Structure 1
């Protein structure tokens, strides 16, 4: 067993690759509106790869623009600041972590699940009249703690993967059995390190436990989106199981069977295009 101490977890977080400074700024200010948009556009434009991926997302059918945007400033003009900030963050984070470092861990499957959860959370948020862009980002980041563990402690996490293959169950069970901590702990540590907003931090901390007092409605949305995406098997992992779903969280959505069927279809369509762009 490879029990990780809080100090080892913190050290692993410190050693993670750095995001572009402008993305760090966006993540720490996701609930703020008083940012100089022209300065933001200029900062992002310095990173050509980030700009290109962001603009591909902005021009995708998901956002239904009638004109083709060719600059970050145009994207902000036509999509709004929050949505563009959301796309920049997604483009940066999906390309931030190294792949292939942990035996048995399927990086592409991880990102497929994360992108699909983001798409589903966004669609759910629209129905709940909740901020769609914050929901998208929370869906994308909900399991980011797994990448913290995979990147910082690949040999130890390979034992988690082996334990999970032998015993089944939730990933949290496997992580706790082998490491003594789980991806929620690691995700919260990363949220602190990267100065995420308190809302985003709560969504990561409670997406498996939305019934806990103070978890917040964003955690409820992500919890349900996560379960839906597992049920749809969009990650393409072998023997994928649907996690336990809180009946309170499910009922809080207030959707009937027809609405859920529309939601499933919308998630699948948006996931297809977004994953193609973000995983290119």
Structure 2
């Protein structure tokens, strides 16, 4: 007689998370700062002016301070102190400051209930690593580096959203993941009937991100099926490389498999990869320290 414990997840209706249930629960998610929402709407726009961005930030002193701390981190190598948002825009450029605001605003918004068992610090450290990889890969592939940073930072945003809105259900996911040594996305499918990529796409839509960013977040675990050699593939590789570098600090970090066709089309060669990895590792601690993650 088989006496081993039943490790199958509880697929009761109370644990299943449908798109409608997720959308309904979005009201329980902490609102983004108004300045971050405004910045999101400007991503990809070339007609936005420095004065407009500075004005958005002037209404949020805490976010401005965190953005300036990031601007003055050794990552940017400034020879003098950056004292104001207009100075940061002048010295570093408007596009760079927009991604700073996004990173500063996102990393302080989410609070996860203790019962979820979710390691928020490890989550953001992995996300920062993926953002740096995404930025570097975009540079190698002659893609938009700001969008590369953005999709790297936010590719897994559905995980923290699920853990915030459904702490009991996500604790069940994490238990199932540890018990069967699964990738998070596989544990989510088994326990919730959905996954963080699909829910992250819904959240990105709710925040009015551009369709290409929504697509990259939604499909970063299935790049071969969704325009792999492009932003979806970039998000996938940023995720995989950040896991491979072990930047989250978690002992059980797993690297998701990359389809050969995506690897062949987008992965940099050995020399470029080593250059990228060295750069990311050099920049990583400074960015995390500035963002307090």
- Shorter-chain TM range is over 0.9
Partner deviation per Cα, 1:130-156 (whole Å, 9 max, x = no partner): 111111111000000001100100011
User: Does 2:97 align with 1:53?
Assistant: no
Offset at 1:204?
0.2
Q: Contact 2:113–2:167 at 8 Å: present in 1 too?
A: no
User: Does 2:124 align with 1:104?
Assistant: no
Alignment of 1:125-164 (within 5 A): 125-164=138-177
Partner deviation per Cα, 1:45-68 (whole Å, 9 max, x = no partner): 221211111111112232233332
Offset at 1:89?
0.7
Count of equivalent residues: 280
Alignment of 1:54-203 (within 5 A): 54-203=67-216
Normalising by structure 2, what TM-score?
0.91
Larger Rg: 1 or 2? 2
**SS in structure 2 opposite 1:211?**
helix
Q: Which residue of 2 aligns with 1:241?
A: 254
Q: Which residue of 2 aligns with 1:250?
A: 263
Distance in 1, Cα, partners of 2:164 & 2:17: 14
Offset at 1:104?
2.3
User: Does 2:218 align with 1:205?
Assistant: yes
Offset at 1:279?
2.1
Partner deviation per Cα, 1:111-134 (whole Å, 9 max, x = no partner): 110011001111111111111111
Distance in 1, Cα, partners of 2:143 & 2:88: 22
* Higher deviation after alignment, 210-219 or 6-15: 210-219
Q: Which residue of 2 aligns with 1:8?
A: 21
Query: Once superposed, what is the RMSD of the aligned Cα atoms?
Result: 1.6
Q: Contact 2:64–2:85 at 8 Å: present in 1 too?
A: yes
- Change in CA separation of 1:28 and 1:216 when aligned onto 2, cut-off 3 Å: farther
Q: Contact 1:118–1:136 at 8 Å: present in 2 too?
A: yes
Partner deviation per Cα, 1:191-237 (whole Å, 9 max, x = no partner): 11111111211110121111224456112112112111111111011
Normalising by structure 1, what TM-score?
0.95
Q: Contact 1:102–1:157 at 8 Å: present in 2 too?
A: no
Distance in 2, Cα, partners of 1:87 & 1:247: 33
Distance in 2, Cα, partners of 1:134 & 1:250: 20
**SS in structure 1 opposite 2:116?**
coil
Q: Contact 2:35–2:60 at 8 Å: present in 1 too?
A: no
Q: Which residue of 1 aligns with 2:235?
A: 222
Distance in 2, Cα, partners of 1:254 & 1:7: 36
Q: Contact 1:101–1:150 at 8 Å: present in 2 too?
A: no
Offset at 1:270?
1.3
Partner deviation per Cα, 1:221-272 (whole Å, 9 max, x = no partner): 1211211111111101122111111222222235221221111111111111
